Amino acid sequence: DVKVTQSSRYLVKRTGEKVFLECVQDMDHENMFWYRQDPGLGLRLIYFSYDVKMKEKGDIPEGYSVSREKKERFSLILESASTNQTSMYLCASSSAGARDTQYFGPGTRLTVL
Amino acid sequence: SQQGEEDPQALSIQEGENATMNCSYKTSINNLQWYRQNSGRGLVHLILIRSNEREKHSGRLRVTLDTSKKSSSLLITASRAADTASYFCATLPPGNNRLAFGKGNQVVVIP
């Protein structure tokens, strides 16, 4: 079974802090994605990566950056957290880009105070 | 950009009944996928239907796709309390490399 894990289920940070969200997958997938999910807005793509050290902006990349130094790990970085980044963050991976099934982690609920 | 739109937005049914939800989209697609999300958890892939397919089954799930109407439906037969979840459709336009998710459809199955 594909397993995608995220470093924290719940996280509380203060405005201005630098925040790291980690995602690890164990299926040797080339592609990894970061989404945020907000009530009434559904899932929105922040960034995705189709190979090590490769990244591409999604629909809402502002205020975020990503890092993919190893194939199995994809990190989302909030350089200076703000209250409007309070959200559920979901990581996903797939073997063939968006054409194929995406496997999701359990999510990290981030609260920025 | 978000493209899939599920309808109805919320559905409440008795255990044993069938649940049907629809998804409409605006542009042509390569495939359409349905996902389930239990409260506060990640999404789980249910079924993928390609643009040249009209119907697909998986256990108690039946998905149809009408590309002329740009719509899809997900039918859950003989629903169970464990089917209580949000259901999302996601579309992949041709030549694109990112899924567009709908806003989700909340289904509550009453035991």
Q: What is the pLDDT of residues B66-93, one digit of tens each?
A: 999 999 999 999 999 999 999 999 998 8
pLDDT at B5 (0 to 100): 63
pLDDT at B96 (0 to 100): 75
Nearest Cα to A48, choosing from A34, A36, A29? A34
Q: Which top CATH class is B5-110? A: mainly beta
Question: What residue ranges do the domains of chain B occupy?
Answer: 5-110
Record: fold of A4-112? Immunoglobulin-like (2.60.40)
Instruction: Please spell the DSSP secondary structure of A6-46, one letter per residue.
Output: ES-SEEEE-TT--EEEEEEESS--SEEEEEEEETTTEEEEE
As given in the structure block, the two tokens for residue A31 are 């592609």
Distance CA(A66)–CA(A48), nearest Å, equals 8
Q: What is the pLDDT of residues B14-64, one digit of tens each?
A: 999 999 999 999 889 999 999 999 988 889 999 999 999 999 999 999 999
* CB contacts, 8 Å: B98 with chain A: 45, 48, 58, 98
**A13, A77 in Cβ contact below 8 A?**
no
pLDDT at B97 (0 to 100): 74
pLDDT at B109 (0 to 100): 96
Whether residues B41 and A41 touch (CB distance < 8 A) is answered with no
Q: B106 to chain A nearest CA, in Å?
A: 12
